Amino acid sequence: MNERTASLHRQTSETDIQLTLNLDGTGQSQINTGIGFFDHMLNAFSKHSLFDIDLHVKGDLHVDGHHSVEDTGIVLGQAFHKAIANKQGITRFGQATIPLDETLCEVVVDISGRAYLHWNIAFPVARVGSMDTQLFEEFFRGFVMSAQLNLHAIMHSGRNAHHIAEATFKAAARALRIASALDTRRLHHIPSTKGVL
């Protein structure tokens, strides 16, 4: 199998993003988005997905964090889509349910080629650190649309916003790790009755 890596540079009037992604890594990360809590979530995502992520974001944070967070999702999704290529040999489906104290969050993914986000995550407060909690959905929507996959995020319980965000990112990481993993029984096949994804 070819190396499943991608490097991208995306520059707009609002953000300048450089990203290198390795799907078959060991969870190493170098991440700087300018938003401390977002960095914390992305580092956790890298650690638990085993994706190596080198990410540097310069955004218009004097406005707010929206552009930086959404565009990071877009670029990470584009890199994922490029790295996974024709999806030959992948497991395709993945699911993970992650607890963090009182919180329990579940993420289910299908690397289907069809983009859809179901977001059933509710935050009790408007901000965690300096980050607007509404932006977590924007990040995942940008990622899902660019990666062209189906992702359902469901909160079963939770009261602490930090715990809710972290459990969601960790569940997404584990689900994507499972779904993108290579299945040794069908390394030369596309996991679809259609023959394409």
pLDDT tens sequence across 123-162: 999 999 999 999 999 999 999 999 999 999 999 999 999 9
CATH superfamily of 5-186: Imidazole glycerol phosphate dehydratase; domain 1 (3.30.230.40)
> Helices in the chain by DSSP H: which ranges?
36-49, 66-84, 135-147, 161-180
Q: Where do the domains of the chain lie?
A: 5-186
The count of other CB atoms within 10 Å of the CB of residue 66 is: 16
DSSP-assigned states of every residue in 119-154: EE---SSSEETTEETTHHHHHHHHHHHHHT-EEEEE
Per residue in 90-122, pLDDT (tens digit) is 999 999 999 999 999 999 999 999 999 999 999
**pLDDT value at position 1?**
53
Q: Mean pLDDT across the stretch 46-69?
A: 97
* CA-based radius of gyration for the chain: 16
